[in-house]
Chains A and B, each alone.
Chain A
Amino acid sequence: MHVMAGEKSFFDEMYDEAGAPRQPFHIYEQWFAEQEPAKLLKKAADAEDLFRKTGITFAVYGQEDAEERLIPFDIVPRIISAQEWARLSRGIEQRVRAINAFLHDIYHRQEIIRAGRLPEHMVSRNAAFLDKMIGFTPPGGVYSHIIGVDLVRTGPNEFYALEDNARTPSGVSYMLENRETMMSMFPELFSQIKVRQVSDYPKRLRRSLAASAPRKCEGDPVVAVLTPGIFNSAYFEHAFLADQMGAELVEGHDLQIVGGRVAMRTTQGYRPIDVLYRRLDDDYLDPLTFRPDSALGVPGIMDIYMSGGITIANAPGSGIADDKAIYSYIPDIVRFYMGEEPILQNVPTWRCSEPDSLAYVLDNLAELVVKEVHGSGGYGMLVGPAASKRELAAFAVKLKRQPANYIAQPTLALSTVPILTKKGLSPRHVDLRPFVLVSPDKIEITPGGLTRVALKQGSLVVNSSQGGGTKDSWVLED
């Protein structure tokens, strides 16, 4: 599945129209020109061996018995200037603040609905809205502790926020490992170019989680990462973060309610946990409250949560904020809670639940990207320009059957950054997922984030499950 470039022109982040390197890439470009191509290709192969050795692999869903796979890594960095980043991070912070304010509001007074800025049914009939959370305020007032905002760029100053991953955004381990790999392969680049560091993310994550400790916490908060287990596609990341944070890595069967607290079974008995960074969807968290067949969660954890015995990050019910149907309201949400115009643009979105929009989407299917409202990871999505006639027809049938399940967006002219190929540099489309930490007292954004790159020429789909790779993302110091 890929879209051929051709009719459109794309913004290249490294080279301008005249073929000269843009400002942030100046030094890198000079360095690159001095390198022997064969040696660079060798380094690229070394990087892959390094990743395989480290075990940064992921399992692909829907492929029984599939080997664990590596996400391909490209050695050409994506470089962002200090000014560009300053503006981006202001936009991200604004959006993240608004999202947390929105979550607090819809679980309390629902002012935004009263004000007529959001239809009531968008909340009440949303599967991600949890009745159980109504009237409850999480410890420290934080709902979404960790957010990954997906950004795409279409021009020198045009950035769009494509998705707000407010549940359990993944990929941060790649951000960290990509940097480690680049530093060990090209130390000379880091002495010539001042790149802002990302390696303190785990420390900040721990601090940020600990700052939201629950009422019943005594002493230094005990932090644990809850994973579905080694067969989960992101298990590497769960273990990686727990390891780097110095937190426990637990599964549901390690936990039990003991004395009004969620406690983990240690070699010396049960010990309470204060903050649980769960990498598990709401549905699986508590079989007593949600899916009764879930063996991954902890029976009774929601009651402990409600009584101030534990902090769950992100808070149950946060998912409604990154729901793709709510997405189209985010600019209004920013205006409503922040009293400001949004700094980051939203992509125009047709809600297929609305008859006029549905008609437009069906008429223009071949030009649009259609996504499932509750989907993620690029699964179940249609990229109109890349689809065959037959795929389009089949999708139209699905769309008509359950229009409320879908939203549609125009195909964006994603910017490109070159990757290294056997024939030299060649432009590929990219997006960017910066990682944001929210604690009661501050919001921190790690400079850079994860750049995902569509490795197939012309393709606009960057998801790793669909053949995407990653790049190290550099934010330059002033």
Chain B
Amino acid sequence: MPTLGKTAGGLFWMFRYLERSENLARLIEAGLRISLTRGGAAGEEWRSIILTAGLTAAYEESGGEYVGPQVVNFLLRDKSHGCSVLCMIEKARDNGRVVRTAITREVWEATNETYIMARTMLGRPVREADLPDILAAIRRHSALVRGALHGTMLRNDIYNFARLGTFLERADNSARILDVKYYLLLPSIAHVGSLIDHSQWDTVLRSLSALHSFRWLYPGESKPIDIARFLILDGRFPRSITFCIRKIHENLYWLEKEYGERLASQNLSQQLLEQIEHASIERIFEGGLHEFLQSFTIQNQQLAQQIETDYRFSG
């Protein structure tokens, strides 16, 4: 059965929104941790989280201050800006309804349950005491949807469109998180005498769920260059930019194979892949970490748009 362009687009966005909601919850978790351990630095951290989410203008317009409960409610459940975790989950589910016939009952039910959970838990302003439970529930439900996808879906074009959404979104998220904190990772020589607190590196790792994996690979002292190398270039870590690009390339390859047609999307992803495979962290630092991340984010967006065009997501 052929796949409708709308369906491919719905799958792509359904999984983008799911990924984004999960990542936002992870960011909030990292922020929460800072506010619990180092009260003084929390304001700055909340500011950078709002910046990472791309919501600075909306937040300041709403008159919000950079204090925990306000930021958390804004990011988790505010409907005015359309980018809160709750909005994201609603959009994912709306897309899920559009593509209902393309996904298995398990995937649909897991998505629907995520929505029921979010609406129940985020229906009223969130109290600080409930926050750990809520964030854990969001993470758990994301895992359920992912598990249902892996366990029950046919590995065809439909699956590949869903995965493309996941990895394009994830790559974008990882790049944004790094970009907002890039100054923390610059070679320490440039920051001699500055008051950078090394525990902030933990926050970067934590907001990408990378702390455990990083310590496994680098049991000694954390060095910023290792952190940057790990998060950008380590193809073993599922939230690194390299990992995401490889996955995107793979999903596009399967589409090319299934449809028997190579399109502009495949060429773009080939370019991205070659760039990242030939990159070294030293050269990235030389050219500027910020510049590298900015240019990657733009290329990633272009690829997403090319996929929308090539596979006729809209008429």
Which A residues form the contact surface with B (CB < 8 A)? 52-55, 230, 235, 239-240, 242-243, 246-251, 253-254, 256, 264-269, 271
Q: A264-B4, A266-B4 are in contact. Are A243 and B97 (CB under 8 A)?
A: no
B312 close to chain A: CB less than 8 A: yes
Q: Which B275-315 residues have a C-beta within 8 angstroms of A?
A: 311-312, 315
Residue interface mask B3-22, A partner, CB < 8 A = 1 = 11110100000000000000
Establish whether residues A265 and B1, one from each chain, have CB atoms under 8 Å apart when the complex forms: no
Q: A267-B311, A269-B312 are in contact. Are A55 and B108 (CB under 8 A)?
A: yes
Establish whether residues B261 and A52, one from each chain, have CB atoms under 8 Å apart when the complex forms: no
Establish whether residues B315 and A266, one from each chain, have CB atoms under 8 Å apart when the complex forms: no
B116 close to chain A: CB less than 8 A: yes
Residue interface mask B57-69, A partner, CB < 8 A = 1 = 0000000000000
Residue A53 contacts which of B113, B311, B312 (CB distance < 8 angstroms)? B113
List the B side residues contacting A251 at CB < 8 Å.
6
Nearest-neighbour CB distance to chain B for A184, whole angstroms, equals 13
Establish whether residues B259 and A265, one from each chain, have CB atoms under 8 Å apart when the complex forms: no
List the B side residues contacting A266 at CB < 8 Å.
2-5, 312
When C-beta atoms are compared, the residue in chain A nearest to B113 turns out to be A53
Give the number of residue pairs across the A-B interface with Cβ within 8 Å. Answer: 68
Residue B157 contacts which of A55, A230, A267 (CB distance < 8 angstroms)? A267
A-B contact pairs, 20 of them (CB 8 A): A53-B109, A53-B112, A54-B112, A55-B109, A242-B101, A243-B100, A248-B1, A248-B101, A250-B4, A251-B6, A253-B315, A254-B4, A264-B2, A265-B5, A266-B3, A267-B8, A267-B161, A267-B311, A268-B259, A268-B261
Residue A55 contacts which of B3, B98, B112, B315 (CB distance < 8 angstroms)? B112
- Taken together as a complex, chains A and B put the C-alpha atoms of A250 and B3 apart, in Å, by 11
Nearest-neighbour CB distance to chain A for B2, whole angstroms, equals 4
Q: A53-B109, A54-B109, A230-B94 are in contact. Are A267 and B101 (CB under 8 A)?
A: no
- Taken together as a complex, chains A and B put the C-alpha atoms of A408 and B105 apart, in Å, by 44
Q: Which B101-157 residues have a C-beta within 8 angstroms of A?
A: 101, 105, 108-109, 112-113, 116, 157
Residue interface mask B252-274, A partner, CB < 8 A = 1 = 00000001010000000000000
List the A side residues contacting B98 at CB < 8 Å.
230
Shortest 3 CB-CB distances between A and B: which pairs? A239-B100, A266-B2, A243-B101
Nearest-neighbour CB distance to chain B for A405, whole angstroms, equals 36
Q: A239-B100, A249-B101, A256-B315 are in contact. Are A265 and B112 (CB under 8 A)?
A: no
Establish whether residues A267 and B312, one from each chain, have CB atoms under 8 Å apart when the complex forms: yes
Interface hub of B105, B311, B312 (most chain A Cβ within 10 A) = B312
- Taken together as a complex, chains A and B put the C-alpha atoms of A271 and B3 apart, in Å, by 10
Establish whether residues B109 and A265, one from each chain, have CB atoms under 8 Å apart when the complex forms: no
When C-beta atoms are compared, the residue in chain A nearest to B95 turns out to be A230
Nearest-neighbour CB distance to chain A for B199, whole angstroms, equals 42
Nearest-neighbour CB distance to chain B for A229, whole angstroms, equals 8
Establish whether residues B97 and A265, one from each chain, have CB atoms under 8 Å apart when the complex forms: no
Establish whether residues B116 and A230, one from each chain, have CB atoms under 8 Å apart when the complex forms: no
Nearest-neighbour CB distance to chain A for B147, whole angstroms, equals 16
List the B side residues contacting A269 at CB < 8 Å.
312
Residue B5 contacts which of A55, A230, A243, A254 (CB distance < 8 angstroms)? A254
- Taken together as a complex, chains A and B put the C-alpha atoms of A239 and B5 apart, in Å, by 17
Interface hub of A54, A235, A268 (most chain B Cβ within 10 A) = A268
